């Protein structure tokens, strides 16, 4: 029965304060919290304008109106009465890494809450006086912590509840009349609110940067796909044309295909390397965003302020050059040219032109990044090759293949076979 009680207690505990529900309310997604806890969380969400369930993260555009769940309140009240007579199960004893109850004798139980006034931690049984006696009800209870001493002023042995903006440190109220006299001081809660806003702003900047990088990655992937399609189209067209030529052109056909493939491989390799760096940067941004998200939900004000500097420093990362995509990054100009007449005599000249066209295909601009280019991010150039956009001035434009008196039309030109 005792084990069943503690299992029930977990079911009726607030996931924010980890204590039994006080004035329980239930959100539309079905999760229950203390009214004070969920209201406090949503007070912080007022800055974002979007409210979410701390447990399932379901979001609400408008702040939900919460009403006390009377049925759940009665169940919790009965559970509290049962707690006075229930013996704790074995798993409620303190284990490695747990905070021990300071008032247990013999084998100590796991502490649930710590009192900042008493500077002690209490298990469920020894915590009851703080719920029942009016004088103790005024004490501030927090989640059980081994870091209580860090919340005490080393000079005056008083609770750290003031923040000195001049020296950027937490102090007690006696410090304001001593070495911090005349300094710019505010309550720790007020400074926490201000720092929380800064954390929110940093998160927004981080999220905006993630969105920018993700868009750049999408554009770069599209450019790579288009380059591959264009390269394949150029290869297919070259193969189709060269297979119609005489046997002496077969060697030249292989050379053109090799040029295209080599250039494609070089450009795709460069782009994929850049993609990998972008993915690493986005992963690092996500990791830092997750740390900021976890840090923003720190319940303890003092612990939050003491760790704020660790999270406020900008990430040190290698500055990436501006990503400028070449709008002409396709193989549409890779067409054999000026082979209309005297095909055998012009073969060498045609391959030289094809080679130059292949090497001119780049996904990224080779120009030095400018301020404007850096601000705009990825830049693309040109359109992609299709069979219908060949003009007479393209490398393949006006191609004439002779084989007897048969002719084949290509666009506005006629081709003889």
The CA-based dihedral angle spanning residues 107, 108, 110, 112, taken in that order and rounded to the nearest 10 degrees: 150
Angle between helix 301-312 and helix 250-296 axes, rounded to 10 deg? 150
Q: What is the pLDDT of residue 14?
A: 85
254 vs 265, residue with greater confidence:
265
Percentage of the chain modeled with pLDDT above 70: 75
Residues of the chain with CATH 3.30.160.60: 151-183
- Predicted TM-score (pTM) of the model is 0.39
Do 313 and 295 meet the contact criterion of CB atoms below 8 Å apart? Answer: no
pLDDT grade for 106, boundaries at 50, 70 and 90: confident
Span 345-367, pLDDT tens digits: 667 777 788 888 888 888 887 65
Span 297-310, pLDDT tens digits: 888 888 888 888 87
Do 15 and 54 meet the contact criterion of CB atoms below 8 Å apart? Answer: yes
Span 43-71, pLDDT tens digits: 887 877 888 888 888 888 888 888 889 88
Distance CA 92, CA 124 (A): 9
Residue found under tokens 């990054």: 329
CA distances, 305 to each of 115, 120, 159, 294, 314 (Å): 19, 22, 14, 14, 17
Q: What is the pLDDT of residue 209?
A: 96
Do 15 and 33 meet the contact criterion of CB atoms below 8 Å apart? Answer: yes
409: pLDDT strictly greater than 90? no
Q: What is the pLDDT of residue 398?
A: 39
Span 119-164, pLDDT tens digits: 889 998 899 989 888 888 888 888 888 877 788 888 888 888 899 9
Question: Residue 109 gets which letter from DSSP?
Answer: B
Span 151-183 CATH architecture? 2-Layer Sandwich (3.30)
**Pairing between strand 169-171 and 185-187?**
unpaired
Which class would CATH give 2-143?
Answer: alpha beta
197: pLDDT strictly greater than 90? yes
Span 198-243, pLDDT tens digits: 999 999 999 999 999 999 999 999 999 999 999 999 999 888 877 7
Span 271-292, pLDDT tens digits: 898 899 899 989 988 998 898 8
Q: What is the pLDDT of residue 170?
A: 94
406: pLDDT strictly greater than 80? no
pLDDT averaged over the chain? Answer: 78
Distance CA 269, CA 366 (A): 15
Q: How many CA atoms lie within 13 A of 325 on its CB side?
A: 27
Q: What is the pLDDT of residue 394?
A: 42
Max mean pLDDT among 4-8, 114-118, 182-186, 378-382 falls in 182-186
Average pLDDT of span 373-400: 42
Q: Among candidates 128, 36, 20, which has minimal Cα distance to 72?
A: 20
Average pLDDT of span 72-92: 70
pLDDT grade for 316, boundaries at 50, 70 and 90: low
Q: What is the pLDDT of residue 191?
A: 93
The DSSP-derived string for 261-285 is: HHHHHHHHHHHHHHHHHHHHHHHHH
Strand partners, 159: 152
Q: How many CB atoms lie within 10 A of CB 397?
A: 18
What are the strands, taking DSSP E only, across 57-101?
59-60
pLDDT grade for 343, boundaries at 50, 70 and 90: low
Distance CA 333, CA 387 (A): 11
What φ, ψ does residue 224 adopt, rounded to 5°?
-65, -45
Residues of the chain with CATH 3.30.40.10: 2-143
pLDDT grade for 396, boundaries at 50, 70 and 90: very low
């Amino acid at each position: 029965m005792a084990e069943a009680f503690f299992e029930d207690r977990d079911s009726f505990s607030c996931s924010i304060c980890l204590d039994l529900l006080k004035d329980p309310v239930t959100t539309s997604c079905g999760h229950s919290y203390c009214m004070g806890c969920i209201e406090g969380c949503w007070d912080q969400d007022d800055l974002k304008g979007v409210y979410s369930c701390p447990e399932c993260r379901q979001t609400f555009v408008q702040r939900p109106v919460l009403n006390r769940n009377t049925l759940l309140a009665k169940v919790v009240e009965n559970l509290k009465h049962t707690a006075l007579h229930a013996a704790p199960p074995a798993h409620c004893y303190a284990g490695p890494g747990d905070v021990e109850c300071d008032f247990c004798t013999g084998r100590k139980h796991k502490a649930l809450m710590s009192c900042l006034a008493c500077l002690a931690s209490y298990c469920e049984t020894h915590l009851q006086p703080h719920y029942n006696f009016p004088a103790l009800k005024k004490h501030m209870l927090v989640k059980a912590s081994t870091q209580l001493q860090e919340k005490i002023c080393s000079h005056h042995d008083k609770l750290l509840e003031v923040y000195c903006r001049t020296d950027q440190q937490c102090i007690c109220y006696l410090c304001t009349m001593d070495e911090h006299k005349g300094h710019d001081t505010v309550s720790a809660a007020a400074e926490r609110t201000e720092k929380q806003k800064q954390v929110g702003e940093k998160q927004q900047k981080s999220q905006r940067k993630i969105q920018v990088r993700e868009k750049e990655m999408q554009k770069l992937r599209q450019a790579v796909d288009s380059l591959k399609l264009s390269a394949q189209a150029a290869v297919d067209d070259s193969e189709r044309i060269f297979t119609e030529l005489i046997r002496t052109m077969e060697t030249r056909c292989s050379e053109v295909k090799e040029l295209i493939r080599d250039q494609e491989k070089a450009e795709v390799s460069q782009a994929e390397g850049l993609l990998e760096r972008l993915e690493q940067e986005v992963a690092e941004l996500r990791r830092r965003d997750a740390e900021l998200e976890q840090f923003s939900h720190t319940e303890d004000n003092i612990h939050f302020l003491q760790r704020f500097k660790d999270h406020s420093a900008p990430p040190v990362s290698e500055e990436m050059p501006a990503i400028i995509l070449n709008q002409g990054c396709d193989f549409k100009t890779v067409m054999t040219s000026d082979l209309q007449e005297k095909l055998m005599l012009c073969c060498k000249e045609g391959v030289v032109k094809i080679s130059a066209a292949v090497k001119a295909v780049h996904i990224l601009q080779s120009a030095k990044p400018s301020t404007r280019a850096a601000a705009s991010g990825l830049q693309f150039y040109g359109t992609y090759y299709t069979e219908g956009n060949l003009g007479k001035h393209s490398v393949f434009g006006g191609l004439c293949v002779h084989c007897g008196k048969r002719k084949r039309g290509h666009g506005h030109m006629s081709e003889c076979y």
